Amino acid sequence: MAKLKLTYFDIDGGRAEPARIAFSIGGIKFEDNRFGFDKFSAVKPTTPLGQVPTLTIDDRQITQCNAINRFAAKLAGLYPASDVNSLVCDEVMDIVEECTHKLVATFGLEGEALQVARTKLAEGAFTNALKLLNKRIVEQGGLYICENRLTIADLKVFVWVHALNSGILDHIPTDLVDLVAPQVHEHYQRVAESPGVIEYYAKR
């Protein structure tokens, strides 16, 4: 087995968290290379595009979080087998990633500008995305995103919803998910209570 090193900020969340959890669930050995935000200026020039996460496989460094997620999921048995379910899985991961890009664009804003931008996200892009995710869960029987089992798409949604619910994002209502996407809210709780996720965070 190749040597794996996943590099990302030292936070329990964000773009690397789904892959971290997937590796853990699958029993895949990897180096969880975490660093503080103050170290990013030193890490940035060592990455292919000046961004993280990256996954180093032996001496080959790979970028793009959803590509890394899919790789981790395939190793861990958390990626759908059929073409259609793979498409749904990828769609959901990209929906969440698009919302993450929009959220990151508000970083650095302050005061009224931040409030206006975050309120617009909550009432617009985030609500629209959550409603579509709610629909996808209902279409699949109400439990998971696809195949009626835990996949990397569920982990991606779980990590994003955790951030929305947490209160750490100013001007994003902590009850947004519950109000506009009740099935997503239940899905979040279901994933949080799954044995592999519990075990991962117990180790943290």
Work out the pLDDT band at 67, boundaries 50, 70, 90. Answer: very high
Quickly state the pLDDT bin for 116 (edges 50, 70, 90): very high
In this predicted structure, the answer to whether residue 179 has a pLDDT above a threshold of 80 is yes
Residue 108 has pLDDT above 90, yes or no: yes
| Residue 61, strand partner residues | 56
- Sequence spans of domains, the chain: 4-77, 83-194
Mean pLDDT of 84-104: 97
How many C-beta neighbours within 10 Å does residue 143 have? 15
83-194, which class in CATH? mainly alpha
Residue with tokens 């030193």: 42
Residues 6+ apart with CB under 8 A from 183: 134, 137, 138, 142
Q: What is the mean pLDDT of residues 46-73?
A: 98
Rounded to whole angstroms, the Cα distance separating 184 from 118 reads: 20
Equal fold, 4-77 vs 83-194: no
Grade residue 1 by pLDDT with cuts at 50, 70 and 90: confident
Q: Calculate the CA 123 to chain-centre distance.
A: 21
- Please say whether the beta carbons of 201 and 13 come within 8 A: no
Average pLDDT over residues 64-75: 98
Residue with tokens 């519990």: 198
pLDDT, average across residues 172-184: 97
Q: Given a cut of 80, is residue 197 above it in pLDDT?
A: yes
Q: Which residues contact 1 (CB under 8 A, 6 or more apart)?
A: 29
Percent of residues, the chain, with pLDDT higher than 70 = 100
Classified by CATH at the fold level, domain 4-77 comes out as: Glutaredoxin (3.40.30)
Residue 204 pLDDT class (50, 70, 90 cuts): confident
Tokens of 123: 């009432």
What is the CB-side half-sphere exposure of residue 75 using CA atoms within 13 A?
20
pLDDT tens digits for range 131-156: 999 999 999 999 999 999 999 999 99
